Structure 1
Amino acid sequence: MKIEAWIFGLSTAFFVIVSPAYWLITNDWTGTSALVMTTLLVAMITLYLGFHAARMDPRPEDRKDAEIADGAGELGFFPPYSWWPLWCGATLAVMVYGLAIHAWWLFIIGVFLGALALCGLVFEYYRGEHAH
């Protein structure tokens, strides 16, 4: 994780330089505030990765003397196909459309359908074909 911390650290340094330069060139509040927030978010990720990299045992990618075989084995759980993200996105679209046209009844229908879709997404691996 040390290389990831370095990459995000370099990105933080880049945004620290670019944010005031953007303000001096354009005097644009919107873009400057977006760049400042981006700087802070990237700095937060840098700190998180840096603290965790210091506490972890080095991964094979972080060691200079590592062999290819050191990285062999199970990498983790990768979920199979799922239709629930589609339904979550569709209900979010219904809710946003309801807000855009000031149809509160459509927004409320979207909230209820979105709650069902979100429950389906969260509890997908507790029932059905892929139950654990």
Structure 2
Amino acid sequence: MKGEAWLFTGTALFFGATTLLYGWLSREPAGTAALCVSFVMSSLVAAFLWRQYGRGGERPEDRDEAEVRDAGGQRLYFPARSYFPVLAAAGSALIGLGVVQGLWLCLIGFGVLLPGILGFAFQNLGHPE
């Protein structure tokens, strides 16, 4: 986790420096805003990864001397079939079309997207592990 955190920290620093330099030299608001959003998004990912590293410590992937058998531990359950990705994709597409076509289609898209997101979040609650 520490390697990923450093990677996104470096990316955030790059976008931060580029945003300041581009905004100062060009005085162009659209490019500056896009770079600023890139800085914020990479900073959020870096902050999340640093927090997870602080909570969980080193993983076997972080150690050079780790063996394959060290990677045991929590096993994740992935259902064989799930329709929630289809719902989430359809809802996202409808929201995108709704921005162009009208509010009514955007609202339908949110109505389709919400069950997809909730299904992703809660589909494994009944699993024993």
TM-score, normalising length from structure 2?
A: 0.67
Q: Give the number of aligned pairs.
A: 126
Q: Compare CA radii of gyration and give the structure with the larger one.
A: 1
Instruction: Give the whole-Å Cα distance in 2 for the aligned partners of 1:53 and 1:43.
Output: 15
112, 115, 129: which is aligned to 1:114? 112
Deviation at 1:63, TM superposition (A): 1.8
Counterpart mapping for 1:1-132 below 5 A: 1-72=1-72, 75-94=75-94, 97=97, 100-102=100-102, 104=104, 110=108, 114=112, 117-118=115-116, 121=119, 132=127
Whether the aligned pair in 1 keeps the contact of 2:19 and 2:35 (CA below 8 Å) is yes
In structure 1, distance between residues paired with 2:114 and 2:51: 38
Moved more, 111-120 or 70-79: 111-120
Change (3 A) 1:118 1:60: closer
Tell whether the 8 Å contact from 2:92 to 2:113 is kept in structure 1 after alignment: no
RMSD: 3.4
Structure 2 gaps of 5+ residues are: none
Following superposition, the deviation at residue 39 of structure 1 comes to 0.9
Contact kept, 8 Å, 2:8 with 2:45, in 1: the verdict is yes
Give, in whole Å, the separation in 1 of the partners of 2:45 and 2:110.
34
Whether the aligned pair in 1 keeps the contact of 2:98 and 2:109 (CA below 8 Å) is no
Change (3 A) 1:63 1:102: closer
TM-score (normalised: structure 1): 0.66
CA 1:41 to 1:72, structure 2 compared with 1: closer, same or farther past 3 Å?
A: same
CA 1:79–1:27: 2 relative to 1, 3 Å:
farther
